Structure 1
């Protein structure tokens, strides 16, 4: 009996222990699910600002009524459960508390009115503004409207310097969001993997089986470049998960014979297939399966996703037929400025409304352009712009003007004429406001002010006109716009550039993106690529998709032993591939090499030619190698190098290497960081976690072709002393010939 009770007690305790274990497991699963379902997002105010120049610091509210606008969105697969605007601001001590305040407005609905305190405080005030989540839509505009008064007198000057309030850059918008399940419907693509209203950097894991083949990785690269194209200015990163399924949305690649472990029991497919399913890891996110019978099917499925996802619907779709687009022509990337005709500014904008502004001192109108880095405008008088604009006429001639600049450098300023001066310029179209004036100007942009990524800026400024001490005749409804038919013309310029130039690669993916589909590009991976190598490849291709606006459908993926794939092509080398196979001999051409066994660094003789500088000519880099050092050191470091291909002249090699796998990811982060990407230039860039050091060292080479006479004069222009000597010699020769002719004529006269 005692033994029976003992056995029964043992079974009971075992059951309790098992139940506790199950309970802990369930609690853990529930906690994981909760962490996925709910999250808190903090948006710093400068990331939401409509003013692109505002990357931190203080937001200024001025005059009797000043406004700051901020924009944010809500994802399709998330619901905002709670929203709080943490506002920190300071204000002028001259403001009248009972008549001065700040309105917080969301989507034209007043959320809160913040009164100016009666007792002035020199420290910034902090106010937490709860936001009714029912006001939040997929796209939202949050506005701060400053109403300020410093006197009860009717002679109050709206431009008085005491009318101010400063919003601190530490202000932020806090959103508590809950992830909600979406239907397994391909018709929602590209959501939930990319959501147009999400302003954060795109991050989508790619799930692959262990030891993925090159064709499978090539299909993954096509998809990553498509997602990068969609992400555009947000930036993108694509972590590679080998036989692991992470929480959250992810994209999976598998064939009937080679697939991640969690798809072991998944039914085989009969052709290129796209399928959306619930993520088994968290039970709420979505997985997009790119499937095929073999690796050829994977490429077809990836192409159909990148080029024709709009026609998809339902949880699963099989591609029965795919006709690929014709190969792209050089320099025809959809996001690049066309070089065969003048381009209308309206073509470069998402909406014509972005070319229109309101108010006395509105934010500038910005037009972003991507220009082929090898456009050669030497000795050009300027890039012609035919500028057309309309505006509400100012009351009288004053300080009202339009200022045009490019990349924060002044191009030209135009005075805005009053209604009395410009009767002949009034618009007579019956569908337009007759109070608007139009103007047209021809402008030349100096070529040296244009880069690979350019921003044309048009800032209208309307002066307040004072008639008397207590009278103000400012116009209430002031509007201005740049006509969408205004054009910029880069046609007719040859293509020629000195390489290597890592700035062109970091900014625009050049020279690989010369063809938007990367048809002349080879990407080389190590023989056994790591997850970091694959992530770097996918992320770089995503950046190129963003640069061109077109997925990388025709690039070639190769191993270091495939020498045929390296000839007559531009080559991108990832990770340790430079230390394998035929590529080992290429290290002698590289200005820097890093790896587990050490770091080999070369230094140029000097950064500029002092003789050129002393003569007052343009400084000329001297990339000749002056010294060589080899180190063995710790810490994270990635190196981006550029050099001419040893296999084919005038072809470019870009190598991305690092001391370890995590350091490769640092390089991807630097290219996406606006504060660091501008420091990547020359032939070698040393990329640290928060710093980039660049050098131009080693041999340079030329790409492109010049017209006959330009090909003669341009090299000579780089050698003014030689040009002067040639001029002297030519003068002596011409003088000698003239002297000989005159002497001959004189001799004939004597004989006669």
Structure 2
């Protein structure tokens, strides 16, 4: 038995201060990105790549500023015998730049900018315009490659060669700068939820989250809730200590909060409050109906069609209790559906392909995602950025807007020059 006296709870965490997320308000030294001693050092004839994980807030968004500043400093042993050697910088396994290692120096540094935008062409494709232009999970790799040439002996003159291992180091005072980005996201987008727990993990302690479950929730629903809370903590690096639990919408408990619902079916959601679950079940029912009809059509006349047991759903839509706030409903139909859902929750890789507003999980099949319901937005953008963002969805209107601006600019120049000419004529 343990007695805690004079307990004082911790204050609510601030937005985007999750310990596992990089601070995007300032330059970050690599020393803070490393997780263990010696992570920035590698030794060997062919040193193993030095890797750093960079987890960012999932709603980072940028339009004009497309580069991230990197100030990298590194040390290395000189290449032997003038053999070629390189340091390759990769971002998410994609080559960004490579630098030759000089045989006359043992250290080097450079400042660089690299972009997270997929290319200007993708901005014109509506399906490719992301709600944020940075991945939530990124990996920086620094791969030092040394050429190696060893002279061989002959039968008459046997030689033994002792190879000296190389050592490379990334200076912990190197920095990376993600400042200058806006927090803005277009929802629904379940990928933000499954990868980073957004929008709930915006406050790592879930101080602005309301969890709804019926009082007599079965063990499988409780298991799903606990696994989800544990997943949030793994994504933010902070325990879930300030979440509010309730069995129904009451006493304005949903105001200024995002709502997370755990239930077995849509009927349970309806009993928890006016959460408009119809937007979920229309897509679920339609999917089940088309799935059953496809099986019946392909089956032989004397065959028996048996529906898969177990189905689970994750759905997201705007909360009816607050503009820009979200409702995410996690439904596991019975024991089979909950088992299927929890199996996915415990394997993060299984949820990275989820997106849209509704995701449906069935046995022995990849998750199916659908865009359901109207879009809504969280975060903020300056007015000029909002104009640019709106025009990205309509390329023809963007071209027309550009032409109008060009005509206005040309007209202004023409009027100014014409006024100067008239003024000079009057003086003469």
TM tier, smaller: 0.7 to 0.9
Q: Indicate the residue corresponding to 1:412 in structure 2.
A: 97
Residue 392 of structure 1 and its aligned partner are, at CA, apart by: 1.5
Q: Indicate the residue corresponding to 2:367 in structure 1.
A: 692
Residue 511 of structure 1 and its aligned partner are, at CA, apart by: 0.9
- Choose the corresponding residue for 1:668, options 342, 347, 372: 342
Q: Indicate the residue corresponding to 1:447 in structure 2.
A: 116
Distance of 2:350 and 2:279 partners within structure 1: 26
Deviations 1:96-117 (A, max 9, x none): xxxxxxxxxxxxxxxxxxxxxx
Residue 509 of structure 1 and its aligned partner are, at CA, apart by: 0.9
Q: Indicate the residue corresponding to 1:708 in structure 2.
A: 383
Matched, 1:538 2:226: yes
- Choose the corresponding residue for 1:508, options 188, 196, 203: 196
- TM-score, length-normalised on structure 2? 0.82
Distance of 1:459 and 1:737 partners within structure 2: 54
- Say if 1:584 and 1:732 are closer, same or farther in 2 by CA, change over 3 A: same
Distance of 2:114 and 2:142 partners within structure 1: 13
Distance of 1:353 and 1:404 partners within structure 2: 19
Distance of 1:593 and 1:527 partners within structure 2: 27
Distance of 1:350 and 1:335 partners within structure 2: 10
Structure 1 segment 111-260 matched on structure 2, within 5 A: none
- Say if 1:589 and 1:397 are closer, same or farther in 2 by CA, change over 3 A: farther
**5+ long unaligned stretches in structure 2:** 119-133, 290-305
Residue 472 of structure 1 and its aligned partner are, at CA, apart by: 8.6
- Choose the corresponding residue for 2:322, options 634, 648, 670: 648
Distance of 1:466 and 1:746 partners within structure 2: 79
Q: Indicate the residue corresponding to 2:86 in structure 1.
A: 401
Structure 1 segment 264-303 matched on structure 2, within 5 A: none
Structure 1 segment 91-110 matched on structure 2, within 5 A: none
Q: Indicate the residue corresponding to 2:20 in structure 1.
A: 335
Matched, 1:725 2:400: yes
- Secondary structure of the 1:448 match is coil
8 Å contact kept, 2:90–2:140: yes
**Mean Cα deviation higher: 508-517 or 361-370:** 361-370
Distance of 2:334 and 2:207 partners within structure 1: 30
Q: Indicate the residue corresponding to 2:40 in structure 1.
A: 355
8 Å contact kept, 1:406–1:456: yes
Deviations 1:504-530 (A, max 9, x none): 111111110111111111111134311
8 Å contact kept, 1:333–1:515: yes
Residue 561 of structure 1 and its aligned partner are, at CA, apart by: 4.0
- Say if 1:519 and 1:577 are closer, same or farther in 2 by CA, change over 3 A: farther
Residue 564 of structure 1 and its aligned partner are, at CA, apart by: 2.1
8 Å contact kept, 2:309–2:336: no
Q: Indicate the residue corresponding to 2:209 in structure 1.
A: 521
- Secondary structure of the 1:553 match is coil
Residue 665 of structure 1 and its aligned partner are, at CA, apart by: 3.1
Q: Indicate the residue corresponding to 1:144 in structure 2.
A: none
Greater fraction strand? 1
- CA RMSD, Structure 1 to Structure 2 (Å): 3.0
- Secondary structure of the 2:39 match is helix
- Say if 1:550 and 1:739 are closer, same or farther in 2 by CA, change over 3 A: closer
Residue 589 of structure 1 and its aligned partner are, at CA, apart by: 3.4
- Secondary structure of the 2:400 match is helix
Matched, 1:683 2:373: no
Deviations 1:4-57 (A, max 9, x none): xxxxxxxxxxxxxxxxxxxxxxxxxxxxxxxxxxxxxxxxxxxxxxxxxxxxxx
- Secondary structure of the 1:362 match is coil
Q: Indicate the residue corresponding to 1:635 in structure 2.
A: 309
8 Å contact kept, 1:521–1:571: yes
- Say if 1:475 and 1:718 are closer, same or farther in 2 by CA, change over 3 A: farther
